[in-house]
Structure 1
Amino acid sequence: MRLNRLFVTLFVLKICLSICLISYSYYYVYIKPHTQNDKVVVIPHKVSKSEIGRILYATEVIEDQVMFFIVSHLHSFLGNHLLSGEYLFEKGSTLMDVIKKLMYGDVIRYKLTIPEGYTNAQIYDLLNSTDKLTGEIDISKYGEGSLFPATYFYKNGTTKEQLLKQMKNLMSKHLDDLSSQTSLPTPLRSNYELIILASIVEKEASLESERPRIARVYLNRLTIGMPLQADPTVIYALSLGGHTLDGELKRQDLKYVSPYNTYLNKGLPPTPIANPGLASIKAVLHPTDGKELYFVKNSDAGHSFGTTYLEHLTNVRNYRKGQYQVSG
């Protein structure tokens, strides 16, 4: 009888201990905060679980290397492996939070915005000065105007070439989508000419609402064989392909001999002069109606448009009069 009681007592104690152990393990893995402060940690490529545990323990992300190894090892049997990369472990992370983040590859993602109208040279400079990007740039792969301006996300160790490839692919995708929906306006003959003109519109327009109207002016000029006389093309020529031009454009600059100078040469320049955004591309595909051939800056940060040269001269006088009044 006593033996039976002892057996029952031991059995109950064993169950209680098991419950306590399971409960504590659950608490330790799923509830107990391990990370006391936000921690950024880089997990190298092709390292063992024990080495990952050592790194996390040394950086105070976890409190127990052994428990980390056991839990992560159990998950590896289910096909869940720990991935390398740069991670942010937030304050209050549990052991399971840490392991899940490593299994899902939830690495830190950085944001890089390429402004509309940037030239390739400006994009290269931006990439070369951006932290966490690696590798060199093969500029021979990317023609001017082939990179789509947008916001891109990348992780630590992403190569500059990978980002440039994304930009190039996105530009191609937009062109394919647009060309399947809309035909080119007269007198443009290819998507490349579309991008050339869109790049000029991009650099010329200060107001988005004016882009289709500026596009119409240039299309009208191309149709009748009139020089575009676009200042941004001269700036591109003078700035050696897109770097910042020191100072304002001067009258003598308009005589600068270059195939990009649309004061001296009729038609489009040989290449785009920047990487246009979607709004400028669409403006060329959907220009306003009209016969306008001229535009000049006005005092409202926009432009005044004219159909005849006489109208244009009036707009120029009004602009200069406004400048004089402001300066006076």
Structure 2
Amino acid sequence: MSTKKIISIISIVVISGLIIYGFVLIGQIFSNNTKFSQDEVYVHVPTDASYEQVLDSLTPYVTNLERFEMVASKMSYPENVKSGRFLLTKGMNSYELVKAMRSNIPVKLAFNNQERIENLAGRVGSQIEADSASLMKSFKDSIFLKENGFTEENVLAMFIPNTYEVYWNTSAVKFRDKMIKEYRNFWNNERVAKAKKQGLTPTEVTILASIVHKESVKKDERPRIAGVYLNRLRAGMPLQADPTVIFAKKKKDNDFNQVIKRVFYNDLFLNSPYNTYKVVGLPPGPIAMPDITALEAVLNPEKNDFIYFCASTDRFGYHEFAATLAEHNVNAKKYADWVNAQGIKR
């Protein structure tokens, strides 16, 4: 056999081998490499995570980690690991997995009805990488508070309850800075003008709205309640809001998990800047995070002559309103008799 023929045969063998290897390689790259039963799963990669940490995170979800590593190496992924939240779907091949690990998926972060800034930090910290401690530190940073006109007591007013799109690996400071931008967007010229018309600043609107929010779950009643409280403020009367007494009791006991359904006469003498039976004007900060309907109720209150109100015994969740103390006393006695009949002790 001539040399030329031998070289031709060797060339054919080599080419055939390369073709076979190519098919095998393509099969490895583009065949299913997932082993989870769900339609999709999320993988979280912490900030500054190493490639080895990524592999540990992927192990429960990838059938053949070596196959993934081979493709990842070809695509220069080990040198370019990204932190964040990544979506894997059932049936992905190694190539698709690497691509997925480069596409950070935002989180739909939601919060509302948080009673204190500590509760908010815990709520947010359960949804993004930043923990509650780092969030609290950023929220109470003295320089930030001073620059933006807040105090540790009223900084909860900065947070407008809603659903926000943020990246899971957003830092505590970046999250806080996003929230101050959202706050400024909410408090546009129109809302600021409405607040001024009521003789309030945006922060004072939020403080009053937190009381309105706690007074009634009925959104259609909140403008009327806001009107009553504004009447009291303008008359120089104490707000005498039971929710502020409840907040003051919880704060004094350092126990915000306790359930208090009833305010007793002796509670009204509790020494606290949050007790609006003793202190005229607004408390130093919100007693909860008011929702937008409560904020709008204070900005667009019902114009009325009511000064008093108490819970209704006929319309559950609503209140009875009065313009005179005599009318109010009748309503209040009716409610007190009903409460006693129910055996509510606390």
Q: Same fold (TM over 0.5)?
A: yes
Contact 2:310 2:331 in 1 (8 A): yes
C-alpha displacement of 1:3: 12
The alignment status of 1:319 with 2:318, answered yes or no, reads no
Counterpart-to-counterpart distance in 2, 1:57 and 1:196: 47
SS of aligned partner of 1:259: coil
Contact 2:153 2:284 in 1 (8 A): no
Structural mapping, 1:233-272, within 5 Å? 233-240=244-251, 243-244=255-256, 247=260, 248-272=262-286
Length-normalised TM-score, structure 2: 0.72
2:146 maps to what in 1?
none
Counterpart-to-counterpart distance in 2, 1:227 and 1:69: 69
Contact 1:117 1:277 in 2 (8 A): no
1:213 maps to what in 2?
224
Amino acid at match of 2:230: L
> Aligned pair in 2 of structure 1 residues 9, 213: CA closer, same or farther (>3 Å)?
farther
SS of aligned partner of 2:187: helix
1:171 maps to what in 2?
183
C-alpha displacement of 1:98: 0.8
Counterpart-to-counterpart distance in 2, 1:200 and 1:193: 11
Length-normalised TM-score, structure 1: 0.75
Residue-pair matches, total: 317
Which digits, 9 at most, give the CA deviation of each residue in 1:195-246, with x for residues without a partner?
Answer: 2211211222221111111101111111222221111222233332785256
Counterpart-to-counterpart distance in 2, 1:211 and 1:270: 21
> Aligned pair in 2 of structure 1 residues 302, 58: CA closer, same or farther (>3 Å)?
closer
Which digits, 9 at most, give the CA deviation of each residue in 1:34-88, with x for residues without a partner?
Answer: 122267766563645xx578657855615263x54554455459xx944234656
The alignment status of 1:92 with 2:68, answered yes or no, reads no
C-alpha displacement of 1:99: 0.8
Structural mapping, 1:257-296, within 5 Å? 257-296=271-310
The alignment status of 1:116 with 2:113, answered yes or no, reads yes
SS of aligned partner of 2:195: coil
Contact 2:273 2:279 in 1 (8 A): yes
Contact 1:148 1:168 in 2 (8 A): no
Contact 2:50 2:81 in 1 (8 A): no
Counterpart-to-counterpart distance in 2, 1:187 and 1:106: 43
> Aligned pair in 2 of structure 1 residues 113, 55: CA closer, same or farther (>3 Å)?
closer
1:140 maps to what in 2?
140
Contact 1:53 1:68 in 2 (8 A): no
Contact 1:122 1:243 in 2 (8 A): no
> Aligned pair in 2 of structure 1 residues 160, 250: CA closer, same or farther (>3 Å)?
farther
SS of aligned partner of 2:279: coil
SS of aligned partner of 1:214: helix
SS of aligned partner of 1:304: strand
More moved, 98-107 vs 238-247: 238-247
Amino acid at match of 2:333: R
2:194 aligned to which of 159, 166, 183: 183
C-alpha displacement of 1:105: 2.8
SS of aligned partner of 1:239: helix
Counterpart-to-counterpart distance in 1, 2:171 and 2:54: 28
Query: What root-mean-square deviation, in Å, do the aligned CA atoms of Structure 1 and Structure 2 show?
Result: 4.1
C-alpha displacement of 1:160: 4.8
Amino acid at match of 2:194: S
Counterpart-to-counterpart distance in 2, 1:255 and 1:36: 64
More moved, 262-271 vs 121-130: 121-130
More moved, 10-19 vs 213-222: 10-19
> Aligned pair in 2 of structure 1 residues 307, 249: CA closer, same or farther (>3 Å)?
same
Contact 2:129 2:168 in 1 (8 A): yes
Contact 1:146 1:168 in 2 (8 A): yes
Structural mapping, 1:56-75, within 5 Å? 61=62, 63=64, 65=66, 68-69=68-69, 71-75=71-75
> Aligned pair in 2 of structure 1 residues 43, 321: CA closer, same or farther (>3 Å)?
closer
Contact 2:206 2:295 in 1 (8 A): yes
SS of aligned partner of 1:196: helix
